[in-house]
Amino acid sequence: MSRAKSKRIKMPNGAGSLIRRSDGRWMARYSTEDPESGRTLRKTLYGRTEQEARSRLVVALSGRDLGTLVVTRGRALTVHAYLERWLATKRVRPKTLLRYRELVLNHVIPMLGQMPLPRLDSRHVNRLMERKLSSGLAPRTCNHIRAVLRNALHDAMREGLVTRNAAELAHPIPLYNIEETKVLAPDEVGTFLELAQRHPLGNLLIVALASGCRQGELLGLRWQDVDLDKGSIRIERTLQYIARGWHVLPPKTPRSRRPIALPKVACEALRREKREQAEARLKADKWSDEFEDLVFTNDQGGPLVAYRLS
């Protein structure tokens, strides 16, 4: 079968050019200025169809004229290079950024990292998801990978680096047989409370069961946020161990700042914790006040290590 002849479409002056290659793909060319040297650069974009190449050309020319086009010299920006830059500048909570980095470095970059960013499409993302799923990765984790990539490509579109969000166009992995949240039966609650009484962290476990608080919310709880007379606590911050250090952070969402009414058993646990903490302070050679007034501490007044609670 003979290959199609190349074809050039005439465009207005300054509007670049569209060319159908002999392999059937379309190529768009345009000129822009190197912001560092002032020299004219010839840039090339590709598309599977004329419409795709034309759309990418329109976006690039619009970015050029508005001054928002990111100009790369030499080889096209790779997925790896872009994601590294994106992670370095993305403004999210530290723990969220760690999760983004884990998913990108462990899953996206090994398979897609060397691909030129503009050529990434939904087929590549679908193939990534399928391979990860077949390797035993949980469907929910696969969808988290897609969500992070979608977030990154959304920012790339705003910069004019891509014309479509390949992850947005890719198919999410269906979530089958997801177990419903298990609620403890009354007799199980009784057993839990009985066992908690004998556990070193029993007071914290009882408050966690009664309040439904996140781990970081309880680690960051201060006595000034506890009102035992009213039987309530107020969540104002979280305490998280990130990158070998403790960080005081705001709650996950604005609505996470909230008062929580506690049952009698949880108030009793907090009273016990207050007594036990006072005794531990007297016995300790040194007591840390770095995080001020924490409700739940280790034997030296420092924060509890999160992995002990998991």
Q: In this structure, what are the phi and psi dihedrals at residue 67, rounded to the nearest 5 degrees?
A: 80, 15
User: Is-above-0.75 flag for pTM?
Assistant: no
The pLDDT, as a whole number, for residue 305 is 76
Contact 72, 117 (CB under 8 A): no
- Indicate the pLDDT class of residue 1, thresholds 50, 70 and 90: very low
Picking from 32-46, 80-94, 253-267, which range would have the lowest pLDDT averaged per residue?
32-46
Does the pLDDT of residue 170 top 50, yes or no? yes
Task: Note the CATH number of domain 79-169.
Answer: 1.10.150.130
- For the chain, the average pLDDT equals 86
CA dist., res. 52 & res. 46, Å (int): 8
CB neighbourhood size of 14 (10 A) = 10
Strand partners, 222: 294
Check if CATH label 1.10.443.10 holds for domain 186-309. Answer: yes
H or E element that contains 228: none
Residue 66 burial (10 A CB sphere; 0-12, 13-18, 19+): exposed
Name the more confident of 263 and 32. 263
Does the pLDDT of residue 69 top 90, yes or no? no
CA dist., res. 26 & res. 132, Å (int): 32
Percent of the chain residues topping a pLDDT of 90: 41
Contact 250, 94 (CB under 8 A): no
Q: Compute CA 217 distance to the chain's CA centroid, rounded to the nearest angstrom.
A: 19
CA dist., res. 213 & res. 32, Å (int): 54
Strand partners, 234: 259
Contact 22, 6 (CB under 8 A): yes
**What's the one-letter identity of residue 54?**
R
CA dist., res. 27 & res. 201, Å (int): 65
**Rounded average pLDDT over 30-49:** 80
Contact 41, 75 (CB under 8 A): no
Instruction: For residue range 217-270, list pLDDT tens digits in order.
Output: 999 999 999 999 999 999 999 988 876 778 888 887 888 899 999 999 999 999
